[in-house]
Chains A and B, each alone.
Chain A
Amino acid sequence: IAGITQAPTSQILAAGRRMTLRCTQDMRHNAMYWYRQDLGLGLRLIHYSNTAGTTGKGEVPDGYSVSRANTDDFPLTLASAVPSQTSVYFCASSRAGVSTDTQYFGPGTRLTVL
């Protein structure tokens, strides 16, 4: 593994189903982030974690939850998916949780909720 991996690559999901998007990094970065990218809206922060064991809400957290049990993994869970959660989801990490740090992004997960 080099950098950030995300799984699955893409998924079609029925509304109301529960879904967990996985994210793993091997750079030993302290901070991790989840963004969604929608046409015309750019990248919007869903949740973030500055260090293992802590999480925080971003700009659009409703309907999503995260956990950070260890440094490497930062799963994003949709408890009951809705069509408005159709999007491309990107996980990112940075050395520390400051805006001057470079954020490294994963390849993304394309999620369609029907």
Chain B
Amino acid sequence: QKEVEQDPGPLSVPEGAIVSLNCTYSNSAFQYFMWYRQYSRKGPELLMYTYSSGNKEDGRFTAQVDKSSKYISLFIRDSQPSDSATYLCAIGSSGSARQLTFGSGTQLTVLP
């Protein structure tokens, strides 16, 4: 079993839809939860970061963490064609960046 599981998609939604992207993890030592966005043929860029259970909101994006279920989600409200990208969850433990584990990514297409 992989330490971090992410539904690869692809996911296709109409413009304006609410998108839910999810990851599950197996190691309860994981403490830091991030979402990266990767446009086609580009490097990933950090979208959101949180370290506690609950919700964190940034504009149209909400990151949700449920440590008891080992489940994290990223919600995108009022999705736009410019949101079309691959979204990767990344989960870290202790303080070392070498212990950052990435999900395999979910490819999202928002249709105009």
The count of chain A contact residues (Cβ–Cβ below 8 Å) is 28
Residues A42 and B51 in contact, CB atoms below 8 Å apart: no
- B-chain residues with CB within 8 Å of residue A108 when the two chains form the complex: 41-43
The answer to whether residues A102 and B97 also contact, given A42-B6, A42-B104, A43-B88 and a CB cut-off of 8 A, is no
Partner of A99, one of B96, B103, B104: B96
Number of A-B contacts (CB under 8 A): 67
- B-chain residues with CB within 8 Å of residue A56 when the two chains form the complex: 98
Chain A residues within 8 Å of B, Cβ to Cβ:
4, 31, 33, 35, 40-45, 48, 56, 58, 90, 92, 94, 97-108
24 contacting pairs across A/B (C-beta < 8 A): A4-B43, A33-B97, A40-B104, A41-B104, A42-B4, A43-B102, A45-B100, A48-B97, A48-B98, A56-B98, A90-B43, A90-B44, A97-B97, A98-B96, A98-B97, A99-B32, A99-B94, A99-B95, A99-B97, A99-B99, A100-B95, A103-B100, A107-B42, A108-B42
Top 8 nearest A-B pairs (CB, nearest first) are A99-B92, A105-B43, A42-B104, A43-B102, A42-B102, A98-B95, A102-B46, A99-B97
